[in-house]
Structure 1
Amino acid sequence: MLVSKRQGTQPRLFQMVEMEALVPQNHLLRQLDRVIDWSMIHERTRALYSENMGRPVSDPELQLRLMVLCYLFNHSERALYNLLPMHAGYLWFCGLDFEAVLHPEEAELALPDRTTLVKTRKFWRDHQVFDDLMRDIVDQCIIAGLVKPQMDAAVDGTQVRANASIHSLAEIQLAPVESIEAYLVRQAKEDTEDTKTDKEDAPKPPSTRNDHSEVEEQAVHEDFHGKTFSNRTHRSTSDPDARLYKKSKGQEAHLRYLVHDLIDVHSGVILDTRASLASGTAEREVSLKQVQAIRFRHPHLQIRTLSADKGYESADYLVQLHELGIIPLIRLRSLKLQEFPVYKTRALHPVRKAKRRLKQKEIQAYNFAKSIQRHGAYRHIQALRARIEHAFAEAKGRHGLDRARSRGLDRMQEQATLTAMVQNLKRLCRFKARRPRAGALSCTVLAKITGCPQYLCSTTCSGFRFFGNFDGFIL
């Protein structure tokens, strides 16, 4: 039967709708709310705010949930605040409802202003709150059993386009070198000129010509053909930390940063992430810092093997991994073993003696790495190294790591940390969905060993809630 055409849609004036009924039970936001105790941010930020002075601060837990939504679904703060009045799942995850967004003055938990969220991110970034949250999330992955104490790691770096144009490059102007005598003479001359009264200092009439027109015209019609740019001679005026960088000869150089990840190849959990200036040696330098930082942040973890690509083939890098007791699984360009040097004469000079020892260590480390590649004992672990490429692809395609959100190395580090946090949370949700009560036994064992109640966790049918840390103890 034919249906008549509707003249208009008139919704009901009063509707009784529960926020709980609008969010599906298997939604990712429900899983995130179950596996993590978001109130841990109160302990992390308690020392940053005064209890008796100043205005009441906005709820830190609500702000943390808003930040997680920004990076989980790749929204800017402006886009998130435009979507909040229309998205029931976002409001439920933040503990809000539609009335709290439409009438914030009447709500018990008011939505903070967007500028408040931006200032809070800067405040927490300066006090390393995000680094502490990243460590807590990795600890919860370890407690749940997602990351094993004896682990196989992989390290790699990726390029991130800076939030700056190539047209912002300007030549570095070095300050002229001036002697002390010339400086004193110049200062004395300036002091005598300041004491004189200048009668010609009358204000000039405002110019009718636009001062910016010439600069804008020059920028639009600027021709870069025949010019040479390098990081030694040029720097971006909008983002001085960005560097011209390219990974291959056929690639075009752009202003970029480098983001380095250290992951567990079996679970895909990002153990440490760092942003650095783009350079040819940054990957090896930062990876050594990450490996050493794991021993301090998570001393109960032990890295057995470290997988990397050919960019990490360096004698100094292999020697330091050998001294740390880590088996290097690095793709080498040549598998031919080198002869161990034997010297006929004894070196008495300390510098010459140190060079000989360093040469022996380098050849020993190279031969050790080559023997592993020749025998193929760890091929199954080397095959899992591709998971770090998958993590970079996920971060760039789903969470906006393909381009820097803001400018500056510290802000790039914040973006990398928050992106790694949401990636680890997704992996923890998938793992807890398969093993709901995983990790409860580990917390009980830690509580019995330490005898401290802060290691106890209140388990539920769908997850756990973790309080405190357990640095210094072995699972």
Structure 2
Amino acid sequence: MLGRKERDQLELFMTGSLRQLVPDDHVLARVDRVLDLSWLRSEVSELYCETTGRPGIDPEVAVRLMLAGFLLGIVHDRRLMREAQVNLAIRWFVGYGLHEALPDHSSLTRIRQRWGAHCFRRIFERTVQACMSAKVAKGEIVHVDASLIRADVSWESLAVRHVDAVAEANADGATVERDSRKTGKHKKVCVTDPDASMATNGRNRRLEPAYKQHAVVDDVFGVVIDVEVTTGEVNEGQVVLERIDAAADTTGVPIQTVTADAGYAYAKVYGGLERRKFVAVIPAKAEPNRSPVPLRRFRYDARHDILKCPRGKILRPTRPVKHGRFFYSRAADCKGCDLAALCLSKGRVNKAVVVGGDYPALLRARRRREQWTDEDRRLYQRHRWRSEGYHGEAKTWHGLARAVRRGLQNMRIQAFLTASAVNLKRLAAALSAALLLPAGLRKSVLEQLLSLGTRMSQVRLAAG
């Protein structure tokens, strides 16, 4: 018999909770089991006046709205609030009934401005600590990588920096030294978002206004234990040691092994990791052949701090430069050398070589690369899908492929919320997996995971 459904909805009252309409395997239902924001109110209370003004939005509601957007890939405030108006799962997740009016989208903007990026970093760090407490992350083996994020600007907003014209106008007739490599004569800048800088992730790709996200990912379940955003032109090697130290401070666990790709293969990185007693699984790059007699043919004696050329003559250190020191030979030693025609630059009578500050660490890394064990290769393979996999997931599913708002601080807030959403997904997935374990093992695992939401449940019961 062919059925018929009356479309007129005449119900005046509903009994039960919106939770009954949300499937148990919905991402918001799964995240709600492990999300604890009971600490947030006291954290931001000093940013509000206790006696005057209208009551603001509950801090937990604001964060839940933002997290719901990033979990569902709805990162723009206007679109998020339009979706929340009709989405029962979002309404239940933030605690709003069908009859309640949702906050305006502009309220989320003002909250971000009032709280600042440091508060959202605190929210991110709480998710890391929750994963550590539940044994979802260990913090001993970490994978480091960086990825460019396209800025929220158009190509029409780019302008060429007229350095020469400005310098001549301010020189009052004085001679102006022009050096395009130092002044950035032909460099493009973004007028609408000055914090974004031109960068590219490939030699065959054009420069684009972008930011750069630096992430440290745990090896066990891919939990993000540190994330930071800089302008696009910042080199990865400049911030990697700082980010690793920050990750160790967040987890409270000493790091043992660090993996990264060849973009981090710098002497200062190897030296910094050695001083911290970390094992570096980073493939060392071969020295470029820029000279007929390259630096690798000069033997460095760390004990006496000297270099020996291919013919055994000694080069001694003199003046320091930005990333190392100059080593010079004596003109008398080079005068009768059979390699002088190839080794010496035009017009010079002695050899000058720049050696980086941590050059011995780079030499040790190159030797170690030739002796990588099967475990080292396995870790490096895991790096490619742990760290790079996080960036791909964040860009594909959580809106990190492009900046949502302009400015470095807004970009940092977006990165913190994205990493928080990913960590909560990891934690919720671990809880779901624990439910499938045998009864004897399930109890101990669930006790650790469910204890994370104990305070949150107590607060809800007291409020309800």
TM-score (ref. length: structure 2): 0.74
Q: What is aligned with 1:307?
A: 259
Q: What is aligned with 1:177?
A: 170
1:381-423 CA-to-partner distances (Å, cap 9, x unmatched) read 1121021111111100100111110111111111111111100
SS in 1 for 2:280: strand
1:315-367 CA-to-partner distances (Å, cap 9, x unmatched) read 12211121121111112234999854264989797969976897684124432
Q: What is aligned with 1:464?
A: 452
Identity %: 26
SS in 1 for 2:399: coil
Partners of 1:261 and 1:314 in 2: how far apart? 18
> What is the alpha-carbon root mean square deviation over aligned residues?
3.4
Does residue 136 of structure 1 match 2:133? no
Of 94, 104, 109 in structure 2, the residue corresponding to residue 113 of structure 1 is 104
Gap change, CA 1:140 and 1:231, over 3 Å in 2: farther
Q: What is aligned with 1:327?
A: 279
Q: What is aligned with 1:72?
A: 71
Give the residue type in structure 1 aligned to 2:100: A
Partners of 1:16 and 1:24 in 2: how far apart? 18
Gap change, CA 1:351 and 1:80, over 3 Å in 2: closer
Q: What is aligned with 1:261?
A: 215
Per-residue deviation at 1:303?
1.3
Gap change, CA 1:231 and 1:124, over 3 Å in 2: farther
1:424-468 CA-to-partner distances (Å, cap 9, x unmatched) read 110011112233699xxxxxxxxxxxxxxxxxxx9698442488x
Of 188, 207, 216 in structure 2, the residue corresponding to residue 234 of structure 1 is 188
Please tell me whether the aligned partners of residues 214 and 227 of structure 2 are also in contact (alpha carbons under 8 angstroms).
yes
Give the residue type in structure 1 aligned to 2:58: D
Per-residue deviation at 1:14?
2.2
Per-residue deviation at 1:38?
1.9
Partners of 1:79 and 1:333 in 2: how far apart? 46
Gaps of 5+ in 2: 173-183, 288-295, 309-313, 328-353, 438-445, 456-464
Please tell me whether the aligned partners of residues 198 and 232 of structure 2 are also in contact (alpha carbons under 8 angstroms).
yes
Q: What is aligned with 1:366?
A: 363
Per-residue deviation at 1:166?
1.6
Per-residue deviation at 1:292?
2.0
Does residue 297 of structure 1 match 2:254? no
Q: What is aligned with 2:150?
A: 161
Partners of 2:297 and 2:24 in 1: how far apart? 58
Gaps of 5+ in 1: 102-110, 180-229, 439-457, 468-475
Gap change, CA 1:93 and 1:318, over 3 Å in 2: same
SS in 2 for 1:260: strand
Does residue 85 of structure 1 match 2:85? yes
Per-residue deviation at 1:287?
1.4
Partners of 1:459 and 1:241 in 2: how far apart? 46
TM-score (ref. length: structure 1): 0.73
Per-residue deviation at 1:32?
1.5
> After superposition, where does 1:20-419 map in structure 2 within 5 Å?
20-75=19-74, 76-101=76-101, 111-125=102-116, 128-149=118-139, 151-172=140-161, 174=166, 176-177=169-170, 233-279=187-233, 282-298=235-251, 300-334=252-286, 339-341=299-301, 343=306, 361-376=358-373, 377-386=375-384, 387-419=386-418
SS in 1 for 2:57: coil
1:7-34 CA-to-partner distances (Å, cap 9, x unmatched) read x732224252531211122322222222
Gap change, CA 1:404 and 1:30, over 3 Å in 2: same
Please tell me whether the aligned partners of residues 41 and 60 of structure 1 are also in contact (alpha carbons under 8 angstroms).
yes
